């Protein structure tokens, strides 16, 4: 046990040291030609990704979230970060110790996107947006958010009461001021205000979800959401795939680099950790994300394990069926599940098979995990039952037990003691595996931390906190399952 | 008590060809009988036993127990098994239970005895088989003989009317056979009805009231131990009870592989524990084939060894020969080399038998 603790401590310290590592170099950019030979970080699939892809002379690093991207820049894993100028305003730049080395020579119009299928919605939205432009609402929103000053929590605009009805589902791929960001469980930002004003005119409530860019595209195409936003630049290619509302503003791209002068702070290790804990958990009641995430993770894991265990029994019976075609189906199923990554299965279920249904994402994710778990569980059941010699059954029958009694009293308890360690491992695996549900906009533990990080740009404390939580959860789950080990004495 | 008629069992090979294990078994078993079932391996002795309590369902025939046809559809098989105990070759003790729990489990769950009562009776039975001291041990800490004694106690705990023993000592070390057999012997003296499949000939002879000799999927001979062991009707029974082993060589010409024959002879002598007779047998065969019977081909040479009487014999048979091939001089040469020389005509020719 002591060794274990030492090992874990060592692990955390090394993570921290890695996050503190500052690389000494200064980069001067005069034109985009100077990027040659540098490592540039962009958001995966974003406009800037496509913009820089033709440049063969630079190494492009594609990140799923902006906070990962920034972390890479701070750790020296990339040299330059290309993002919209609006995402890191001067306050954030100073806080993080970065600066804009150069702005992109062009600016790009940004707007919110609709599915091409839903022509009706897009048309009415366009009309409303034009109206907003005309009566000055749009200008007011822009003036408020696009000023260079830091907007404190007290200054945030009040959220108007929402009408009842079918909600507009909005997926945003940015949680970053001033575009769209979370404070507590409320969304704020320029695009949020635009959509809210739009929804108010349409007499509909709004639901916001944070999701990565490529998942958002999928969701929009399959109808899992109505509106996609988050500083989406309007390009010709995109216009062919989605319907865009008129651009509300044109942003320049900014090449961010480390600002060496601003980074010489050094408050000491513990002061940093304390400050970071405060900022990541207490400020804006951010621990609530973690609490909610914890609940989602527990809910999804528990239900998946229960459902998967049951389905596993069915699958086991199928693999032992006398009918050949039933066995073939079970075999094919096992093979399919074994070959498809869990994440892909989840995406297929959510964006293809259940795309048109109104099932909640968490229900779909329970299905996806239960499907894989059933296959593994049926394997574990089979292994542990096969490990019981047939003589045990014969002896039970010969004493006068019925077949069912023999199974319940004699075979099953022995199989449980053999299979439980394997089963426990599988359950813990599933628990850890649920970290991917963020892809279908469920705010589980991991996703909660993503949201926090996108506000605080911290790697160490949020990751440390969920590591500890996952560790405790897994340990607790293991202990819970061990309760199922048959008692030493049967009578 | 139990009447078995025309019982048969056919398995099917993977390619669908039938593979009969039991063909037309008929017998009657009366209360109080101790029946040992003997016979070579693979003749369906165990299958027959498994069929009596329907652990293995027969494919034909009928079994009547206490006037009821147990093969009738809907017959409560588990009720039958409650009064027909079984002891297995591999003990099959419940590995997750202690010795005492093994014994009291079925009475508690099936006969609904109270734990206290079952514990008391269980301890009495364990004392009877000499295992009371290990009541709280788990089966994996016991020796084979101890496991089998516990298995017998477990079987007795259900108060069966008949006990089927399926080779109860075959999986045991020779040193542990005795302790198990003495428990069974004790049961026999108490008048328990038992069917015992066994390879222990001496035990079968001493303990049983009746013996079934099984061969090729049927009861070949059925009689008292005296009858079976001393005056068997069939030659196969005789060969089995006297445990006669044999090896046959066909010497059909000058090109015969004599070296191969001597090697096989050597192996035979080592296998049946008569290495001291090997040289003598080889010399005699050499003498007979090279000097005496050199003009006769083909000759069938057979070596037989009876384990019960430890008599070794060499037979030299020539087909369509009516008189002895031995001259007086040759017979005199042979006599000092072996215990006895027998010359006798057979159905198809003439045989010279040398007993060594």
> H or E element: which one contains A474?
helix A460-482
Across A180-200, b (16+ Cβ under 10 Å) vs e yields bbbbeeebbbbbbbbbbbbbb
Which phi and psi angles does A444 have, rounded to 5°?
-85, -175
For testing the chain A interface, which of B94, B112, B159 should be mutated: the one with the most A CBs within 10 Å? Answer: B94
Spatial distance between the Cα atoms of B353 and A440, rounded to a whole number of angstroms = 93
User: What chain B residue is nearest to A401 in terms of C-alpha separation?
Assistant: B78
Q: pLDDT higher for A490 or B206?
A: B206
Smallest Cβ–Cβ distance between B109 and the set A392, A397, A409 belongs to A409
Smallest Cβ–Cβ distance between A400 and the set B81, B93, B108 belongs to B81
Smallest Cβ–Cβ distance between B81 and the set A391, A399, A413 belongs to A399
Predicted confidence at residue A19, as pLDDT, reads: 55
Helix (H, G, I), strand (E, B) or coil at A286: coil
Q: Which residues pair with B344 in a beta bridge?
A: B351
pLDDT by residue for chain B (356 residues), tens only, comes to 899 999 999 988 888 888 888 999 999 999 999 999 999 888 889 999 999 999 999 998 999 999 889 998 889 999 999 999 999 999 999 999 999 999 999 999 999 999 999 999 999 999 999 999 999 999 999 999 999 999 999 999 999 999 999 999 988 888 889 999 999 999 999 999 999 999 888 899 989 999 999 998 899 999 999 999 888 888 889 888 888 888 888 888 778 888 889 899 998 888 888 888 888 888 898 888 888 887 887 888 999 888 777 788 998 988 888 888 888 888 888 888 888 888 888 888 888 989 88
Predicted confidence at residue B311, as pLDDT, reads: 84
Instruction: Write the CA distances from B254 to B262, B289, B294, B295, integer angstroms.
Output: 16, 10, 9, 11
For testing the chain A interface, which of B51, B77, B78 should be mutated: the one with the most A CBs within 10 Å? Answer: B78
User: What chain A residue is nearest to B105 in terms of C-alpha separation?
Assistant: A491
Residues on chain B touching A397 (C-beta within 8 angstroms) = 55, 78, 81
Predicted confidence at residue A23, as pLDDT, reads: 46
Using only C-alpha atoms, what is the Rg of chain B? 26
Q: Does A417 touch chain B (CB under 8 A)?
A: yes
Q: Does A399 touch chain B (CB under 8 A)?
A: yes
Instruction: Write the CA distances from B217 to B108, B228, B243, integer angstroms.
Output: 39, 18, 20
Residues on chain A touching B52 (C-beta within 8 angstroms) = none
Residues on chain B touching A413 (C-beta within 8 angstroms) = 96
Pairing status of strand A80-84 against strand A206-210: unpaired
How deeply is A260 buried, as exposed, middle or buried, from its count of CB atoms within 10 A (0-12, 13-18, 19+)? middle
- The alpha carbon of residue B202 is apart from the nearest alpha carbon of chain A, in Å, by 28
Smallest Cβ–Cβ distance between A397 and the set B81, B90, B115 belongs to B81
User: What chain A residue is nearest to B151 in terms of C-alpha separation?
Assistant: A395
- The alpha carbon of residue B98 is apart from the nearest alpha carbon of chain A, in Å, by 8
The region, left, alpha or beta by phi > 0 then psi within -120 to 50, assigned to residue B273 is left
Q: Which residues does B342 contact at the CB level (< 8 Å), separation at least 6?
A: B351, B352, B353, B354, B355
Spatial distance between the Cα atoms of A59 and A78, rounded to a whole number of angstroms = 9
> H or E element: which one contains A208?
strand A206-210
Q: What beta strand segments (E) does B145-276 contain? A: 162-166, 193-197, 210-215, 218-223, 244-251
Q: What is the DSSP string of A53-71?
A: TT-TTSEEEEESSHHHHHH
Find out whether the peptide bond into A178 is cis, omega within 30 degrees of 0: yes
Q: What is the DSSP string of A307-358?
A: HHHHHHHHHHHHHT-SSHHHHHHHHHHHHHHHHS-HHHHHHHIIIIITSSS-
Q: Does A391 touch chain B (CB under 8 A)?
A: yes
CA B231 to chain centre: 18
- The alpha carbon of residue B95 is apart from the nearest alpha carbon of chain A, in Å, by 8
Each as own residue / partner, the long-range contacts of residues A421-426 (CB below 8 Å, 24 or more positions apart, any chain) are A422/A380, A422/A383, A422/A384, A423/A377, A423/A380, A423/A481, A424/A477, A424/A478, A424/A481, A424/A482, A426/A373, A426/A376, A426/A377, A426/A380
Spatial distance between the Cα atoms of A168 and A196, rounded to a whole number of angstroms = 10
**Crossing angle of helices B278-287 and B258-271, rounded to 10°:** 150
How many pairs of residues across A and B have Cβ atoms under 8 Å apart?
69
Spatial distance between the Cα atoms of B205 and B194, rounded to a whole number of angstroms = 14
- The alpha carbon of residue A385 is apart from the nearest alpha carbon of chain B, in Å, by 14
Does the pTM exceed 0.80?
Answer: no
Residues on chain B touching A402 (C-beta within 8 angstroms) = 78
Q: What beta strand segments (E) does A234-317 contain? A: 242-244, 249-258
Q: Does B264 touch chain A (CB under 8 A)?
A: no
Three-state SS sequence of A391-428: HHHHHHHHHCCCHHHHHHHHHHHHHHHHHHHHHHHHHH
Do the chains contact at A399 and B155, CB–CB below 8 Å?
yes
Do the chains contact at A397 and B94, CB–CB below 8 Å?
no
What does the DSSP 8-state code read for residue B247?
E
Instruction: Write the CA distances from A341 to A39, A298, A345, A432, B15, integer angstroms.
Output: 30, 22, 6, 14, 40
Between A100-109, A151-160, B247-256, B276-285, the lowest mean confidence (pLDDT) is in A151-160
Do the chains contact at B158 and A400, CB–CB below 8 Å?
yes
Place of tokens 């039933």: A326
Q: Does A405 touch chain B (CB under 8 A)?
A: yes
Q: Does A401 touch chain B (CB under 8 A)?
A: yes
Spatial distance between the Cα atoms of A170 and A226, rounded to a whole number of angstroms = 6
> B141-192: per-residue pLDDT in tens?
999 999 999 999 999 999 999 999 999 998 888 888 999 999 999 999 999 9
Q: Which residues pair with B3 in a beta bridge?
A: B28, B64
Do the chains contact at B88 and A398, CB–CB below 8 Å?
yes
Q: Which residues does A475 contact at the CB level (< 8 Å), separation at least 6?
A: none
User: What chain B residue is nearest to A398 in terms of C-alpha separation?
Assistant: B81
Residues on chain B touching A392 (C-beta within 8 angstroms) = 92, 94-95
Residues on chain B touching A489 (C-beta within 8 angstroms) = 98, 101
- The alpha carbon of residue B81 is apart from the nearest alpha carbon of chain A, in Å, by 5
> H or E element: which one contains B303?
strand B299-306
Q: Does A486 touch chain B (CB under 8 A)?
A: yes
Smallest Cβ–Cβ distance between B115 and the set A394, A402, A491 belongs to A491
Spatial distance between the Cα atoms of B103 and B98, rounded to a whole number of angstroms = 9
pLDDT > 80? residue A118 = no
Query: Interface pTM (ipTM) of the complex?
Result: 0.79
Six-digit token string for B109: 């769950």
- The alpha carbon of residue A271 is apart from the nearest alpha carbon of chain B, in Å, by 56
Within 10 A of B162 (CB to CB), how many other CB atoms are there? 20
Spatial distance between the Cα atoms of A193 and A190, rounded to a whole number of angstroms = 5
Chain B (282-321) residues lying within 8 Å, Cβ to Cβ, of chain A: none
How deeply is B124 buried, as exposed, middle or buried, from its count of CB atoms within 10 A (0-12, 13-18, 19+)? middle
Spatial distance between the Cα atoms of B104 and A354, rounded to a whole number of angstroms = 55
Six-digit token string for B229: 């062991």
- The alpha carbon of residue A474 is apart from the nearest alpha carbon of chain B, in Å, by 28
Residues on chain A touching B85 (C-beta within 8 angstroms) = 398-399
Q: Residue A15 — pLDDT band, cuts 50, 70, 90?
A: low
Q: Does A387 touch chain B (CB under 8 A)?
A: no
Place of tokens 């046990």: A1
Predicted confidence at residue A22, as pLDDT, reads: 47
Spatial distance between the Cα atoms of A67 and A294, rounded to a whole number of angstroms = 21
Across B260-294, b (16+ Cβ under 10 Å) vs e yields ebbeebeebbeebebeebbebbbebbebbbeebbe
Predicted confidence at residue B224, as pLDDT, reads: 93
Q: What is the mean pLDDT of chain A?
A: 85
Q: pLDDT higher for A85 or A415?
A: A415
Smallest Cβ–Cβ distance between A401 and the set B53, B101, B110 belongs to B110
For testing the chain B interface, which of A390, A398, A405, A485 should be mutated: the one with the most B CBs within 10 Å? Answer: A398
Residues on chain B touching A405 (C-beta within 8 angstroms) = 109
Contact B192, B85 (CB under 8 A): no
User: What chain A residue is nearest to B164 in terms of C-alpha separation?
Assistant: A398
Predicted confidence at residue A415, as pLDDT, reads: 93
> A338-393: per-residue pLDDT in tens?
899 999 999 999 888 888 787 888 999 999 999 999 999 999 999 999 999 999 99
- The stretch A420-448 carries a mean pLDDT of 92
Predicted confidence at residue A302, as pLDDT, reads: 96
Do the chains contact at A392 and B79, CB–CB below 8 Å?
no
Q: Does B51 touch chain A (CB under 8 A)?
A: no
For testing the chain A interface, which of B54, B96, B138 should be mutated: the one with the most A CBs within 10 Å? Answer: B96
User: What chain B residue is nearest to A415 in terms of C-alpha separation?
Assistant: B96
Smallest Cβ–Cβ distance between B96 and the set A399, A400, A486 belongs to A486
Contact B246, B307 (CB under 8 A): no
Place of tokens 């009293």: A409
Contact B182, B203 (CB under 8 A): no
Chain A (106-165) residues lying within 8 Å, Cβ to Cβ, of chain B: none
Instruction: Write the CA distances from B333 to A112, A358, B336, integer angstroms.
Output: 120, 107, 7
> A287-338: per-residue pLDDT in tens?
888 999 999 999 999 999 999 999 999 999 999 999 999 999 999 999 999 8
User: What chain B residue is nearest to A486 in terms of C-alpha separation?
Assistant: B96
Smallest Cβ–Cβ distance between B88 and the set A394, A405, A417 belongs to A394
Spatial distance between the Cα atoms of B170 and A113, rounded to a whole number of angstroms = 81
pLDDT > 90? residue A97 = no
């Amino acid at each position: 046990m002591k060794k274990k603790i030492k090992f874990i401590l060592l692990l955390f310290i090394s993570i921290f040291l890695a996050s503190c590592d500052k690389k000494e170099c200064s980069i001067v950019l005069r034109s985009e030609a100077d990027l040659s030979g540098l490592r540039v970080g962009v958001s995966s699939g974003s406009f800037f990704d496509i913009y820089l892809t033709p440049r063969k002379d630079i190494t492009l690093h594609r990140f799923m979230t902006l906070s990962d991207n920034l972390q890479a820049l701070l750790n020296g894993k990339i040299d330059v970060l290309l993002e919209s100028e609006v995402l890191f305003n001067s306050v954030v730049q100073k806080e993080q110790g970065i600066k804009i080395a150069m702005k992109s020579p062009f600016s790009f119009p940004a707007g919110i996107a609709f599915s091409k299928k839903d022509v009706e919605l897009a048309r009415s939205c366009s009309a409303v947006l034009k109206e907003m432009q005309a009566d000055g609402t749009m200008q007011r929103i822009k003036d408020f958010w696009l000023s260079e000053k830091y907007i404190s929590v007290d200054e945030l605009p009040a959220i108007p009461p929402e009408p009842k009805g079918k909600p507009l589902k909005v997926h945003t791929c940015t949680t970053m001021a001033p575009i769209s960001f979370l404070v507590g469980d409320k969304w704020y930002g320029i695009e949020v205000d635009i959509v809210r004003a739009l929804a108010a005119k349409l007499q509909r409530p709004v639901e916001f979800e944070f999701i990565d860019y490529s998942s958002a595209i999928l969701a929009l195409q399959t109808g899992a959401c109505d509106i996609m936003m988050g500083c989406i630049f309007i390009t010709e290619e995109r216009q062919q795939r989605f319907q865009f509302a008129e651009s509300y503003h044109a942003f320049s791209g900014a090449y961010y680099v480390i600002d060496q002068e601003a980074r010489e702070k050094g408050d000491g290790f513990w002061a940093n950790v304390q400050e970071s804990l405060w900022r990541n958990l207490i400020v804006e009641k951010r621990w609530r994300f973690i609490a909610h995430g914890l609940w989602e993770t527990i809910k999804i894991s528990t239900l998946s394990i229960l459902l998967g265990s049951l389905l596993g029994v069915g699958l086991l019976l199928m693999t032992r069926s006398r009918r050949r075609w039933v066995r073939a189906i079970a075999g094919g199923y096992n093979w399919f599940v074994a070959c498809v990554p869990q994440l892909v299965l989840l995406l297929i279920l959510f964006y293809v098979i259940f795309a048109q249904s109104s099932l909640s994402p968490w229900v779909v994710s329970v299905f996806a995990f239960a499907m894989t778990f059933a296959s593994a569980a049926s394997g574990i059941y089979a292994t542990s039952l096969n490990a019981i010699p047939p003589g045990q059954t014969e002896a039970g029958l010969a004493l006068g037990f019925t077949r069912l009694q023999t199974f319940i009293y004699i075979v099953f308890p022995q199989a449980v003691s053999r299979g439980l360690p394997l089963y426990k491992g599988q359950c813990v695996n599933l628990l850890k595996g649920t970290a991917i549900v963020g892809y279908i906009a469920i705010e589980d533990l991991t996703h909660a931390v993503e949201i926090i990080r996108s506000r605080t740009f911290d790697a160490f404390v949020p990751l440390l906190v969920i590591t500890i939580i996952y560790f405790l959860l897994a340990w607790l789950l293991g202990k819970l399952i061990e309760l199922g080990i048959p008692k030493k004495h049967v009578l | 008590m139990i009447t078995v008629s025309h019982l048969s069992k056919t398995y099917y090979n993977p390619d669908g060809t039938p593979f009969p294990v039991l063909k037309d078994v008929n017998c009657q078993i009366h209360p109080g009988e101790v029946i040992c079932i003997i016979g070579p391996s693979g003749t369906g002795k165990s299958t027959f036993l498994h069929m009596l309590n329907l652990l293995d369902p027969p494919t034909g025939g009928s079994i009547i127990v206490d006037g009821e046809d147990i093969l009738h559809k809907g017959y409560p098989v588990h009720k039958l098994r409650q009064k027909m105990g079984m002891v297995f070759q591999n003990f099959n003790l419940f590995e997750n239970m202690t010795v005492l729990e093994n014994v009291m489990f079925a009475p508690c769950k099936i006969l609904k005895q109270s734990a206290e009562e079952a514990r008391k009776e269980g301890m009495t039975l364990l004392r009877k088989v000499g295992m009371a001291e290990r009541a709280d041990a788990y089966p994996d800490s016991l020796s084979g003989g101890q496991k089998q004694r516990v298995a017998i106690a477990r079987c007795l705990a259900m108060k069966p009317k008949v006990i089927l023993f399926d080779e109860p000592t075959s999986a045991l070390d020779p040193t542990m056979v005795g302790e198990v057999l003495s428990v069974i012997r004790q049961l026999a003296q108490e008048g328990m009805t038992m069917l015992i499949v066994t390879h222990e000939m001496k035990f079968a002879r001493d303990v049983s009231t009746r013996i079934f000799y099984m061969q090729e999927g049927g009861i070949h001979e059925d009689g008292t131990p005296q009858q079976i062991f001393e005056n068997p009707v069939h030659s196969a029974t005789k060969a089995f009870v006297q445990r006669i082993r044999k090896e046959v060589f066909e010497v059909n010409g000058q090109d015969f592989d004599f070296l191969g024959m001597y090697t096989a002879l050597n192996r035979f002598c080592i296998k049946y524990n008569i290495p001291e007779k090997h040289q003598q047998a080889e010399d005699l065969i050499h003498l007979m084939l090279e000097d005496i019977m050199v003009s006769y081909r083909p000759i069938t040479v057979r070596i037989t060894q009876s384990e019960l009487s430890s008599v070794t014999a060499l037979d030299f048979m020539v087909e369509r020969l009516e008189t002895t091939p031995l001259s007086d001089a040759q017979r005199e040469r042979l006599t000092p080399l072996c215990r006895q020389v027998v010359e006798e005509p057979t159905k198809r020719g003439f045989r010279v038998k040398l007993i060594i």
